[in-house]
Amino acid sequence: MVNKQQEQGEQEQERHHYIDRSIAILGAGNMGSALMKGIINARLTPTDKITASGVHLDKLQRLSAQWNVNHSLNLVEAVEASEIVLLCVKPQTLPKVLSQVQKAVRKDHLLISIAAGVKIAFIQSALGQQVAIVRSMPNIASTVDEGATALSFGEFVSEEQQRIAISIFEAVGEVVVVAEEQLDAVTGLSGSGPAYIYMVIEALIDGGVKMGLSRDIASKLAIQTVLGSAKLVKESGLHPAILRDQVTTPGGTAINAIHELESHGLRSMLINAVATATRRSEELSKVISRS
Ligand SMILES: NC(=O)c1ccc[n+]([C@@H]2O[C@H](COP(=O)([O-])OP(=O)(O)OC[C@H]3O[C@@H](n4cnc5c(N)ncnc54)[C@H](OP(=O)(O)O)[C@@H]3O)[C@@H](O)[C@H]2O)c1
């Protein structure tokens, strides 16, 4: 008889595209380990084909014991043993890591970078060879499998490699494919967006507390209101303005609050926030790609 766990595993495999490839994660920090967990939970590849790499042995040993993956302090060894390399170190560390692994990178490797602002052309030239490079901009919600990731494909990425990259990020949330030039706008919207929404949640909690609710109760209500509203927009497929109109009774509470928000320019503020963060991302990207 097939046990329940096995059945669930098979369902996960069917839902995602089974890739069955060896994967090295260079920099198994917050994002690297989130991706690793997503890959494992979606059963994209067997755990013994995954190698977590970083600089602190104790951290790697803990990850290895918890998730039954290989670990190595030796980046070159990790790259040599893999078909897919996830570049998950900080942008400022990436040039050093690329020069370390350059000789171990083969033509058939698929490299996937999550480093913010580091262009495909920069990685290509650091490696000094024509190799498949995918650049991504995930966000922190990938750590709870609700990420929003945009992918851009370099010119040597095959269709199959595109599908593999999409499967990896679909294991931790939603994926869109964009031209590389649009990744700054993605950074301004979904990359930095969690910070804006945390401010909204914090302010709603304070609003509840101001009106006499306990902080615990206000937190629970504020968090669930944001989560539930997002879920409803996503699942209904309706424009947010239609949903807003549906909860706005003539002469009621919501329309009065909306007037207050409009008079302080809430929508303009958020549009400007995305635009400002996009411009900052463009600036940072120029600095990083010059280094
Ligand atoms: N956090 C986000 O919201 C977010 C969103 C989008 C993109 N990103 C991108 O994700 C990347 C990682 O960010 P993070 O927040 O996950 O950072 P993090 O938690 O600091 O992870 C970085 C990892 O790199 C490892 N590392 C440092 N130097 C190394 C070296 N020389 N060789 C190999 N590994 C090395 C660190 O190892 P130890 O743990 O052993 O020190 C750590 O595991 C960044 O490029 C960032 O731009 C992050």
Same domain as 177, residue 198: no
- Closest ligand 1 atom to residue 187 Cα is 6
Whether ligand 1 lies within 6 angstroms of the CB of 99 is answered as no
156 with 133: CB under 8 angstroms? Answer: yes
Helix spans in the chain (H): 4-15, 30-41, 57-67, 75-80, 94-101, 120-127, 159-170, 183-186, 193-210, 215-236, 240-246, 253-263, 266-290
d(CA 148, CA 136): 10
Read off the DSSP letter of residue 108: T
In a domain, 79, yes or no: yes
SS3 61: helix
Q: Is the CB of 141 under 6 A from ligand 1?
A: no
Whether 93 is covered by a domain: the verdict is yes
Domain count, the chain: 2
Question: Do 64 and 133 belong to one domain?
Answer: yes
| Residue among 189, 190, 225 at smallest CA distance from 204 | 225
Looking at the structure, tell me whether residues 12 and 36 fall in a common domain: yes
Q: Are residues 103 and 129 in the same domain?
A: yes
pLDDT at 286: 86
Strands 110-113 and 84-87: parallel
This prediction has a pTM of 0.92
Q: Are residues 101 and 131 located together in one domain of the fold?
A: yes
Residue whose CA is at the smallest distance from ligand 1 atom 46? 115
Question: Does some domain include residue 72?
Answer: yes
Check which CATH number belongs to the domain holding 128 and give it.
Answer: 3.40.50.720
Q: Which residues pair with 50 in a beta bridge?
A: 23
Q: What is the pLDDT of residue 291?
A: 64
Within a domain: 88: yes
Largest CA distance in the chain: 69
115 alpha carbon – ligand 1 mean position (Å): 8
31 lines ligand 1 (CB under 6 A): yes
Phi, psi of 88 (to 5 degrees): -120, 20
String of DSSP letters for 188-210: IIIITHHHHHHHHHHHHHHHHHH
pLDDT of residue 152: 98
Ligand 1 atom with minimal separation from the 138 CA = 6
For residues 202 and 168, state if they share a domain. Answer: no
**Pairing label, strands 173-177, 132-137:** unpaired
SS3 sequence, 252-286?
CHHHHHHHHHHHCCHHHHHHHHHHHHHHHHHHHHH
Structural domain that includes position 237: 193-283
- What residues in the chain have per-residue pLDDT under 70? 1-16, 291
For the chain, the residue count is 291
In a domain, 290, yes or no: no
Residues 178 and 197 in one domain: no
Token digits of residue 173: 């949330």
Q: Given the structure tokens 């766990």, which residue do they identify?
A: 5
Distance 168 CA to ligand 1 centre (A): 18
CB atoms within 10 A of CB 246: 12
Q: 177 and 158 in one domain?
A: yes
289 occurs within a structural domain: no
Asked if 51 contacts 23 with a C-beta cutoff of 8 angstroms, the reply is: yes
Is the minimum distance from the CB of 59 to ligand 1 under 6 angstroms? yes
CATH code of residue 247: 1.10.3730.10
Query: Which residue's alpha carbon is at the smallest distance from atom 1 of ligand 1?
Result: 140
- Look up residue 77 and give its amino acid: E
26 and 117 inside one domain = yes
Residue 97 near ligand 1, beta carbon < 6 Å: yes
Question: Given CA atoms 200, 204, 209, 211 in this order, what sign does their dihedral have?
Answer: positive
Is the CB of residue 147 below 6 angstroms from any atom belonging to ligand 1? Answer: no
User: End of a domain among 161, 183, 205?
Assistant: 183
Give pLDDT, residue 235: 97
Mutation pick for ligand 1 pocket among 88, 196, 287 (CB with most ligand atoms within 8 Å): 88
Atom of ligand 1 minimally distant from the CA of 136: 7
